[in-house]
């Protein structure tokens, strides 16, 4: 006994010593950057406002990340961080205003001289190009380059992956077959876009669309020069028309941008182009990434999906001044496919919403700081028309506790007073989602619902939960997911989730299988509305209609904890880039 006790004591002592070493030695002084003054501007100093304003040029801005872009080809990239970063080497007719916070959601001219001249019927958009815009070989960027860049969206069989809003809006019937199958000599056969001169571009829309300029501001509307188009390989070395160009790139390893000497500051009101060089280092271990950030080896996480628990705790405790806690514009939620029984019955769906313990789910996601506020409806803060206080199910009441009484009453109405069995589908590569599924599972047990958690391969999301037949076959009554706006509008957020035309055999995002002509019509009305305020009200009404159907249980209005080094200048989170910093204006001390 004595030996056992003493050896236990010894083990405990060693464990304590090791833990102490790990926690103390893991940091060599965050923010004590070689070139900076080491002073961090404070907690949330860059949340929706600019910290460390400066025009100092030079130095190397060092990004780190655990996820490479899905593609650096402007036509193909769909990750939000990639869109933010693409502004270094790619410009669009319009872009988001380079200011922190809400103001960034406003669109301002970039390649265009001014905002579009819109015809009376709202179907024609005309832009004049500004002077001095050039490619990295010094040749001018023309309207034809922009048209060709946009036409690439039609070549989905070669350039898959990116958003296709412009394709759907300009050519809803899919008449044009894309530049690679274009019989026209100049490969510019898309009728919906005219280029009367090199400095003028005209878009003809078959129907009005109040968000058209938002689509024009997406990187997938960037110019691409035909003679430099390497098709599916373009993302390995895009041809630049911005202040920086690719020097070297090894996917999943390292990307280095250097100055593009042909870019003229006088032609660009958006980008500050302060650092001489921009590097991106990619790792696979996010804990190690956090350590390197805290250690001052890197400036910021390009993915900005939030620090891991260990790094977060350390940062908040010891380096709070280097941390921001922005809203990401994402809503994390559970969705109930109506094709899976008994979720065809609205009362069974309501029982899930009332019966879940929202607070415990919020905690499973990291609490109010790292997880976000308890979600009450399905329209996130960054989308006009959003009202975070709109709470039709009283979710946020009683600090998010479950309303067992109401849940049981709904179960009775649904004809399942003793509960039922179902399956929660959750991606196996998202620990937070697994934790939320388990928290939901525990709270549903109290109202008699046995929910089995099925962790499916997260890399096959499009083919598994994106396939309605598969969902039905596997009895996935609850799917855990998250969604953020592609652009700040109800169309850019809600269409793929709630419109019946987005019910697809593969790559479906309308998991709830909402096929409601009233919702479809409401979308058509809202899209055709050119008055932003009126459109916002219409999207708010669609949100109310979706909530009424009880298809979704919103978990959180997501927030996260992101790191910025003390030497970063002009740093501020933006609504336009889902709470990320505006990369185009960053500099280093």
Partner 1 sequence: MLTYLIRRLLAVVVMLVVVMLAVFGIFFLIPKWTGVDVATMFAGKQSDAAALDGIRQKLGLDDPIIVQVFDFFKGILVGRDYVSAGDTLHCSAPCFGYSFKTEQAVWPILADRLPVTLGLAVGAAVIWLLIGLAAGVVSALRRGSIWDRAAMGIALSGVSLPIYFTGLLSLAIFSYGLGLVSNEYTPIEESFPEWFSGMILPWLTLAFLFGAMYARLTRATMLEVMGEDYIRTARAKGVREPVVIRKHAMRSTLTPIITLLGVDLGALMGGAILTETTFSLPGLGQAVLKAIGEKDLPLILGVTLITASAVVVANLIVDLLYGVIDPRVRLA
Q: Specify which residues 245 forms β-bridges with.
A: 258
- Which letter does DSSP use for residue 113 in this model? S
Q: Which of 57, 113, 175, 253 binds partner 1 (CB under 8 A)?
A: 253
Q: Cβ-count burial of 448 within 10 angstroms (0-12 exposed, 13-18 middle, 19+ buried)? A: middle
Q: Any contact of residue 5 with partner 1 (CB under 8 A)? A: no
Smallest separation (angstroms) from partner 1 to the CB of 457: 7
Q: Which of 236, 396, 401, 541 binds partner 1 (CB under 8 A)?
A: 236
- Which letter does DSSP use for residue 552 in this model? E
> What is the Cα–Cα distance from 373 to 26, expressed in whole angstroms?
31
Residue list 460-499, contact with partner 1 (CB under 8 A): 460, 462-464, 466-467, 469-470, 473
Q: Any contact of residue 28 with partner 1 (CB under 8 A)? A: yes
Q: Cβ-count burial of 22 within 10 angstroms (0-12 exposed, 13-18 middle, 19+ buried)? A: exposed
From residue 71 to residue 110, the character string flagging contacts with partner 1 as x (rule: CB under 8 A) and all else as - is x----x-x--------------------------------
Q: Any contact of residue 295 with partner 1 (CB under 8 A)? A: yes
Q: Any contact of residue 454 with partner 1 (CB under 8 A)? A: no
Q: Which of 161, 448, 482, 549 binds partner 1 (CB under 8 A)?
A: 161
Residue list 502-521, contact with partner 1 (CB under 8 A): 504, 506-507
Structure tokens at 362: 């919020």
Which stretch in 21-29, 50-58, 321-329, 403-411 sits in contact with partner 1 by CB under 8 A?
A: 21-29
Angle at 66 between CA 60 and CA 69, to 5 degrees: 80
> What is the Cα–Cα distance from 329 to 304, expressed in whole angstroms?
13
Q: Any contact of residue 441 with partner 1 (CB under 8 A)? A: no
Q: Cβ-count burial of 193 within 10 angstroms (0-12 exposed, 13-18 middle, 19+ buried)? A: buried
Structure tokens at 260: 């593009």
Q: Any contact of residue 24 with partner 1 (CB under 8 A)? A: yes
Smallest separation (angstroms) from partner 1 to the CB of 41: 24
Smallest separation (angstroms) from partner 1 to the CB of 581: 22
Smallest separation (angstroms) from partner 1 to the CB of 155: 7
Smallest separation (angstroms) from partner 1 to the CB of 458: 8
> What is the Cα–Cα distance from 241 to 270, expressed in whole angstroms?
13
The reply to whether omega before 60 is within 30° of 0 (cis) is no
Contact 70, 76 (CB under 8 A): yes
Contact 375, 362 (CB under 8 A): no
Q: Any contact of residue 160 with partner 1 (CB under 8 A)? A: yes
Q: Give CA separation, 221 vs 162, 210, 382, in Å.
A: 11, 17, 22
Choice between 176 and 552, CB closer to partner 1:
176
Q: Any contact of residue 531 with partner 1 (CB under 8 A)? A: no
The residue among 147, 203, 164, 173 whose CA lies nearest residue 75 is 164
> What is the Cα–Cα distance from 463 to 135, expressed in whole angstroms?
39
Q: Which of 297, 318, 373, 438 binds partner 1 (CB under 8 A)?
A: 297
> What is the Cα–Cα distance from 398 to 410, expressed in whole angstroms?
19
Which stretch in 23-31, 95-103, 339-347, 406-414 sits in contact with partner 1 by CB under 8 A?
A: 23-31
Q: Which of 11, 13, 15, 18 binds partner 1 (CB under 8 A)?
A: 18
Q: Which of 269, 429, 450, 537 binds partner 1 (CB under 8 A)?
A: 429
Which stretch in 50-58, 65-73, 105-113, 355-363 sits in contact with partner 1 by CB under 8 A?
A: 65-73
> What is the Cα–Cα distance from 186 to 345, expressed in whole angstroms?
55
Contact 573, 413 (CB under 8 A): no
Q: Which of 38, 70, 373, 544 binds partner 1 (CB under 8 A)?
A: 70
Footprint on this chain of partner 1 (rule: CB under 8 A): 18, 21-22, 24-28, 68, 70-71, 76, 78, 155-158, 160-164, 178, 180-181, 231-233, 235-236, 250-254, 283-285, 288, 291-292, 295, 297, 429, 457-460, 462-464, 466-467, 469-470, 473, 504, 506-507
């Amino acid at each position: 006994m004595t030996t056992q006790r003493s050896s236990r004591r010894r083990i405990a002592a060693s464990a304590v010593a090791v833990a102490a070493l790990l926690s103390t030695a893991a940091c060599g002084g965050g923010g004590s950057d070689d070139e900076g003054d080491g002073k961090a501007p404070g907690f949330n100093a860059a949340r929706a406002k600019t910290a460390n304003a400066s025009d100092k040029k030079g130095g190397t801005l060092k990004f780190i990340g655990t996820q490479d872009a899905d593609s650096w080809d402007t036509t193909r990239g769909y990750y939000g961080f990639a869109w933010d970063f693409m502004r270094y080497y790619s410009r669009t007719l319009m872009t988001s205003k380079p200011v922190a916070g809400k103001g960034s959601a406003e669109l301002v001219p970039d390649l265009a001289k001014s905002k579009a001249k819109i015809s009376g019927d709202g179907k024609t958009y005309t832009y004049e190009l500004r002077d001095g815009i050039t490619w990295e070989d010094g040749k001018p960027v023309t309207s034809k380059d922009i048209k060709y860049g946009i036409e690439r969206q039609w070549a989905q069989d070669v350039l898959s992956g990116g958003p296709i809003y412009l394709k759907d809006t300009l050519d809803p019937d899919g008449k044009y077959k894309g530049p690679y199958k274009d019989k026209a000599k100049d490969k510019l056969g898309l009728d919906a876009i005219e280029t009367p001169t090199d400095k003028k571009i005209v878009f003809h829309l078959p129907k009005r669309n109040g968000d058209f300029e938002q689509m024009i501001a997406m990187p997938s509307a960037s110019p691409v020069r035909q003679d430099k188009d390497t098709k599916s390989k373009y993302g390995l070395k895009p041809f630049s028309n911005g202040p920086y160009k690719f020097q070297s790139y090894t996917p999943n390893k390292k990307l280095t941008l250097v100055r593009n000497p042909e870019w003229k500051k006088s032609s660009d009101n958006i980008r500050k182009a302060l650092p001489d060089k921009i590097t991106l280092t990619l790792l696979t271990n996010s804990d190690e990434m956090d350590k390197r950030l805290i250690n001052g080896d890197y400036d910021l996480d390009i993915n900005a999906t939030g620090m891991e628990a260990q790094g977060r705790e350390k940062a908040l405790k010891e380096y709070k001044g280097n941390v921001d806690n922005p809203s990401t514009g994402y809503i994390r939620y559970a969705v109930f496919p109506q094709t899976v029984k008994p979720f065809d019955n609205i009362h069974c769906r309501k029982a899930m919403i009332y019966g879940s313990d929202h607070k415990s789910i919020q905690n499973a996601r990291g609490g109010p700081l790292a997880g976000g506020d308890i979600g009450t409806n399905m329209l996130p803060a960054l989308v006009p028309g959003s009202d975070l206080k709109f709470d039709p199910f009283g979710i946020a009441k009683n600090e998010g506790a479950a309303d067992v009484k109401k849940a049981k009453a709904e179960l009775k109405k649904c004809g399942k007073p003793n509960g039922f069995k179902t399956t929660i589908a959750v991606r196996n590569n998202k620990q937070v989602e697994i934790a939320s599924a388990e928290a939901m599972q525990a709270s549903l047990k109290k109202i008699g619902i046995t929910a089995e958690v099925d962790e499916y391969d997260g890399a096959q999301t499009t083919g598994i939960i994106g396939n309605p037949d598969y969902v039905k076959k596997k009895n996935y009554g609850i799917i855990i997911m998250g969604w953020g706006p592609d652009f700040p509008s109800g169309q850019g957020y809600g269409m793929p989730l709630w419109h019946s035309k987005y019910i697809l055999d593969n790559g479906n995002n309308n998991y709830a299988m909402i096929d409601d002509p009233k919702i479809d019509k409401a979308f058509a009305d809202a899209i055709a509305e050119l008055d932003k305020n009126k459109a916002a009200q219409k999207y708010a009404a669609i949100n109310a209609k979706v909530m009424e159907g009880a298809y979704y249980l919103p978990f959180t209005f997501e927030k996260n904890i992101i790191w910025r080094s003390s030497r970063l200048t002009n740093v501020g989170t933006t609504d336009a880039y889902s709470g990320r910093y505006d990369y185009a204006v960053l500099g280093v001390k």
